[in-house]
Structure 1
Amino acid sequence: MTLAITYLSPDKFWLLLAVAAIAVTYVVLQTRRRTYAVRFTNLDLLQSIAPKSPGWRRHVPALILLVALSSMVVALARPAREERVPRERATVILAIDTSLSMMAEDVPPDRLTAAKSAAKTFLTILPPKINVGLVGFNGTGTILVPPTTDRARVTAAVDRLELDERTAIGEAIFTSLQAIRQAPVSEDDADNEEVPARIVLMSDGKTTVGRPDSVGANAAKEAGVPVNTIAFGTDNGVIVLPEEPIPVPVDVDREALERIADATDGKAFTAATEGELREVYRNIGSSVGFEIEFREIGLWFIGLAMVLLFLSSSLSLLWFSRLP
């Protein structure tokens, strides 16, 4: 993974011009010294009275010193790296479609079983301090678990999801907003800004009853709650009802779910297998449960500069019995 580094005080980099000036001055002085040596016409006498030239070694301490100064300038520019930090406070409502179309077996062993498994994986991805609630919806929306940090309780409720007739996505959004209002409030929440909340709505069909999707989306937009939608299933899904022996197609209405996400500043995802659904949940968990913070790493460069200064001093004393 690439380490992304930014600088909180990049204006300090102008000090590198001073380091460059020192480097240029050093080169000029060395050139003058070489020119003076060439002007000494009696080379045999010069070799007999001058000590043996240290050659390239005399430049090493100076070069290390310049690198150390450059490292100090970088430290003054306050380098920082991005770190993914778990959110301390947030509320996520997991709304899962339990309409009869979820019995389709185009996603083995069937859509609902695969959805349950992926949802339970999602619960393990989120940081433990985030409140998670569960809403099941078919012809109506029902708060099965109000927002809580008790993952075992939510997991058990996911396992108990059962199928029923009709699909009411608009009602599911209203029920999820009601669940968000039931989130526990701590002293920190009361004194600070509003705790972020988000709805993750997974469905495989289109609304057949209840308030329209657009009405629910507008309510979420007014409440400032993004709705991430997941269109789950394939276009080959069919179900067989007891009263209708002929297979009934149950296509996924991706466009309707995309409109909900767009209207609420959320994101729309699609998943045709349990593995894809797990990956979608993983991406959502990263965006909901974590935030990016900058951690300053200037001490790294200060430490490097100190090591280089000690090295430069040691080499100069060892080779020339003087400090650089």
Structure 2
Amino acid sequence: MVFANPTYLFLLLLLIPLIGWYIWKLRKKQASFQISSSQAFDAPQATSYKVHLRHLPFVLRVVVIALLIVVLARPQSTDNWENTTTEGIDIVMAMDISSSMLAQDLKPNRLEAAKDVAAAFVNGRPNDNIGLVVFSGESFTQCPLTTDHTVLLNLFKDIQSGMIEDGTAVGLGLANAVSRIKDSQAKSKVIILLTDGSNNMGEIAPVTAAEIAKTFGIRVYTIGVGTQGEAPYPFQTAFGVQYQNVKVEIDEKPLNEIAVTTGGKYFRATDNASLKSIYSEIDQMEKVKISVQQYSKKQEEYKDLALLIFALLLMEILLRYTLFRNIP
């Protein structure tokens, strides 16, 4: 048996001063003035059963208090074992946060659209370890692999362009993601790399990072974000933010090579709907059954104790106000 709230068991220590108070009270009730009598020469009389049981109501009350504390600690049985299977893999999401991700061919812009769709993807994978790496001219880990998706989603909200040096270091972002997942013991290790440009910074070439990923058995899905042709991009001017159409240039060749090298797949997202469908397709492809395992199914065990408490409390009240009733 285990307890859901074991700290409540420390309340059992309060029974010690309670018992001490009861003993002190009994001694205080003893006669303080004694006189001689001939009782010692009288024939011995049988001691009343009430004398032997006079402490029973207090004992029952102590037991009731102790059981109440145990109920507060929520006893649970763990003897019920069940076989189960679940689905879960380790995933690192590598996301481009360069300034070009502010283009508004996706709504409200590429970065916010990518964040929203990725967050929905995370919510649909409750059994996965998921991490987050961001990159532009350099790369850093926003969140290591975790099953605490609440924390991960909160960190998603903090992502914004301009957090680090601008540029597009695809190889560096991929290499950082590889370093975060390479030691995983999961059956399936996946990186989802999203970018809207071509590699123009960083000391690691994208194909080199892909070879490293392949060495560790990591599959990489690459996503190129951007419409065909031109996209509205915000420029800061003396008159405020002005939008101008700029040519969309995505170097798809290295993204495709990364996917082919690692056994993944390359996708092109030209709008919000296609980006959402890409993540849905990845979600369907990456359903891996984890081997059967056993887990302990906990069951609350306070009901029987509650019935026992009620019975003992009722007994204590009946004894105190009937058999052991004090007459003033």
Q: Check whether TM > 0.5.
A: yes
Q: TM-score scaled to structure 2, two decimals?
A: 0.56
Query: Does structure 1 residue 104 correspond to structure 2 residue 97?
Result: no
Amino acid corresponding to residue 205 of structure 2 in structure 1: P
Amino acid corresponding to residue 135 of structure 2 in structure 1: F
Q: CA deviation at 1:286?
A: 1.7
Amino acid corresponding to residue 217 of structure 2 in structure 1: G
- Pick the structure with greater CA Rg: 2
Amino acid corresponding to residue 208 of structure 1 in structure 2: N
SS in 2 for 1:281: helix
Contact kept, 8 Å, 1:261 with 1:268, in 2: the verdict is yes
Contact kept, 8 Å, 1:133 with 1:154, in 2: the verdict is yes
Please list, as runs of the form range in 1=range in 2, the aligned pairs for 1:1-324 lying within 5 A after superposition.
Answer: 86-88=86-88, 90-126=89-125, 128-164=126-162, 165-181=166-182, 195-210=187-202, 211-235=204-228, 236-242=230-236, 248-291=246-289
Q: CA deviation at 1:103?
A: 0.4
CA displacement, residues 159-183 of structure 1 (integer Å, 9 cap, x when unaligned) = 1111131011100111001111475
Distance, in Å, in 1 between the alignment partners of 2:267 and 2:280 is 12
Q: CA deviation at 1:107?
A: 1.0
Distance, in Å, in 2 between the alignment partners of 1:96 and 1:86 is 28
Q: CA deviation at 1:241?
A: 3.9
SS in 1 for 2:263: coil
Q: CA deviation at 1:248?
A: 4.1
Distance, in Å, in 2 between the alignment partners of 1:156 and 1:233 is 26
Residues 1:265 and 1:243: Cα distance change in structure 2 (over 3 Å): farther
Contact kept, 8 Å, 2:87 with 2:290, in 1: the verdict is no
Q: TM-score scaled to structure 1, two decimals?
A: 0.56
Which blocks of at least 5 consecutive residues in structure 1 are unaligned? 1-84, 184-188, 294-324
Aligned-pair Cα RMSD in Å: 2.4
SS in 2 for 1:109: coil
CA displacement, residues 37-75 of structure 1 (integer Å, 9 cap, x when unaligned) = xxxxxxxxxxxxxxxxxxxxxxxxxxxxxxxxxxxxxxx
Which blocks of at least 5 consecutive residues in structure 2 are unaligned? 1-84, 292-328
Indicate the residue corresponding to 1:26 in structure 2: none
Distance, in Å, in 2 between the alignment partners of 1:153 and 1:86 is 22
Residues 1:273 and 1:253: Cα distance change in structure 2 (over 3 Å): same
SS in 2 for 1:147: strand
Contact kept, 8 Å, 2:188 with 2:288, in 1: the verdict is no
Residues 1:277 and 1:143: Cα distance change in structure 2 (over 3 Å): same
Q: CA deviation at 1:291?
A: 4.5
Contact kept, 8 Å, 2:231 with 2:245, in 1: the verdict is no
